[in-house]
Amino acid sequence: MSETKPISLGEMLESFFNKRLIQQQNVSQNTINSYRDTWRLLLRYLVSEKEISMTRLSIDMVTAEVILDFLNHLETQRKCSINTRNQRRAAIRAFASHVILYEPKYMAQFERVLSIPAKNYEKKMLGYLTDEEMDCILSTFNRSTPDGFRNYALFMLMYNVGARVSEIISIKCKDVGTNQILIHGKSSKDRIVPIWPETAKLLSQLMVNESLDPDQNLFLNMKKEPLTRSGISYILATASINATKKCPTLQGRKISPHTIRHTTAMHLLQSGTDLNLIRMWLGHVHLDTTHGYIEADIKMKRKTLENSGISKPGKGYTWNPTDEVKDFLNTLGIK
């Protein structure tokens, strides 16, 4: 009886992207692009490390040791952040799970790959704008001009719904209702979000001003093409610089479209909105993601308290470790 021909690394990768990611999980194009870029980097690394051609790469070469070296290479040689390192690790873990499912003989090898831990890092505090700062940015747009009116409507909507910039770009005129709007979220997850009467009026007027059809994108540039991510970032960066004249606290700060999203979330939280409602409003899949806004809010309040000079001495029982415990802790480098 002839032996079954072992599956190649290329065949397994094709199966991973086509079967698991696209057919079974229906992941977003952004996820596919991220995973694709990870494997481009890893394959080039393997070719360099093993000193062989791309066609001779095999699944046996994707070991935990090699993956650890690759992740270290990303940090030390390519100067990637720890967050990027962890994203690359996630792409490799997804592939490892796929291999185990379809080729159980590689279980031991890829379980070791799965055991590689994520690297801890200090998360940056979420940046957001105060009511005054948001108002200052909005006030920079001259609503008497076509571009100024469009920009004002654009950022009023972004602040109203807290949408990702990719979601804003994809909104069509037919998605706009009288008091709500349809947002096309990540991984084909649509959601309906309420909008203020002022926002609804602005969007309605925008469609009339630019003679837009229902199937057209809501926000267009001078060429009557959909606004791009970079275009929106440029408009916001310019507005932020202009707003510093009225609002000095914006001086030197990097304000991105995602800052507007954080601003919406923080203002909803501070107004007493339920966390689950905020999660649905923003289109977060997991509540843990939304929970980050609570942590950021607490950090902001703690920082304010520390800067105020107010302190309250602690009273009560103080634990004094024994010599044995001290010795143990000292072995860990804790003084």
- What is residue 118's predicted lDDT score, i.e. its pLDDT? 92
Q: Which residues pair with 190 in a beta bridge?
A: 184
Q: What is the mean pLDDT of residues 58-81?
A: 94
CATH number of 9-114: 1.10.150
For the annotated catalytic residues, the residue numbers are: 164, 186, 258, 261, 284, 293
The region of weakest confidence among 22-31, 40-49, 78-87, 275-284 is 275-284
pLDDT, tens digit, 9 for 90 and up, residues 170-188:
999 999 998 999 998 876 6
- What is residue 116's predicted lDDT score, i.e. its pLDDT? 95
Q: What is the mean pLDDT of residues 124-132?
A: 77
Is the Cβ–Cβ distance between 218 and 104 less than 8 Å? Answer: no
Nearest CA to 108 among 93, 96, 95? 96
User: Average pLDDT over the chain, rounded to whole?
Assistant: 84
CA distance 198 to 195: 8
- What is residue 52's predicted lDDT score, i.e. its pLDDT? 83
Instruction: Encode 148-178: b = buried (16+ Cβ within 10 Å), e = exposed.
Output: ebbbbbbbbbbbbbbbbbebbbbbbbebbee
Name the segment(s) of the chain with CATH classification 1.10.150: 9-114
- What is residue 177's predicted lDDT score, i.e. its pLDDT? 93
Is a pLDDT exceeding 70 seen at residue 119?
yes
pTM for this model (two decimals):
0.59
Name the segment(s) of the chain with CATH classification 1.10.443.10: 131-306
- What is residue 212's predicted lDDT score, i.e. its pLDDT? 96
CATH topology of domain 131-306: hpI Integrase; Chain A (1.10.443)
- What is residue 262's predicted lDDT score, i.e. its pLDDT? 87
Res. 310 pLDDT band, cuts 50 70 90: very low
pLDDT, tens digit, 9 for 90 and up, residues 143-170:
999 999 999 999 999 999 889 999 999 9
The region of weakest confidence among 88-92, 184-188, 298-302 is 298-302
Is a pLDDT exceeding 70 seen at residue 114?
yes
CA distance 110 to 100: 7
Q: How many residues does the chain have?
A: 335
Res. 62 pLDDT band, cuts 50 70 90: very high
Residues 6+ apart with CB under 8 A from 222: 147
CA distance 327 to 335: 10
Per cent of the chain over pLDDT 70 is 80
Nearest CA to 163 among 198, 193, 199, 206? 193
- What is residue 235's predicted lDDT score, i.e. its pLDDT? 97
CA distance 16 to 201: 47
Greater pLDDT, 273 or 204: 204
* Strand blocks (E) in the chain: 180-184, 190-194
Is the Cβ–Cβ distance between 89 and 116 less than 8 Å? Answer: yes
- What is residue 227's predicted lDDT score, i.e. its pLDDT? 96
Q: Which residue is listed with tokens 């634990």?
A: 319
